[in-house]
């Protein structure tokens, strides 16, 4: 994608901390694609230590060209996202 002049940039990011993590904790990050459209990719995140939910988050990625102008998501990327995730 980048060789073709297209880049994914973070357009929105939010995070809600619930419980602190400590050094040397073994953590699991679960990432889910929740939306894949021609304009954006949306992800949700859950960070856990065992069964304890430590943090949740959400991000929105946009596709831009080298000058930063918004572009349509590549068809191949959208197909891959839709085939591997329960997204809209």
Burial string for 55-82 (b: 16+ CB within 10 Å, else e) reads bebebbbbbbeeeeeeeebeeeebeebe
* pLDDT for the residue numbered 39: 83
Question: What is the rounded distance in angstroms from the CA atom of residue 5 to the CA atom of residue 70?
Answer: 12
Q: What is the pTM of this model?
A: 0.80
What CATH homologous superfamily does 6-84 map to? Hotdog Thioesterase (3.10.129.10)
State residue 74's pLDDT score.
84
Give the pLDDT score at 86. Answer: 63
Residues in the chain with pLDDT values less than 50: none
Task: Please classify residue 25 by burial: count the beta carbons closer than 10 Å to its beta carbon, then call 0-12 exposed, 13-18 middle and 19+ buried.
Answer: exposed
* Domain locations in the chain as residue ranges: 6-84
Would you state the pLDDT for residue 48?
A: 98
């Amino acid at each position: 994608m980048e060789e073709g002049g297209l880049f994914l940039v973070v357009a929105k990011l939010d995070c809600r901390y619930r419980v602190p993590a400590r050094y040397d904790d073994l953590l699991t990050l679960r990432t889910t694609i929740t939306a894949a459209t021609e304009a954006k990719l949306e992800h949700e995140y859950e960070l856990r230590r065992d069964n304890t939910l430590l943090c949740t988050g959400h991000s929105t990625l946009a596709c831009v060209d080298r000058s930063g102008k918004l572009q349509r998501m590549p068809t191949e990327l959208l197909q891959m996202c839709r085939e591997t995730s329960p997204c809209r």
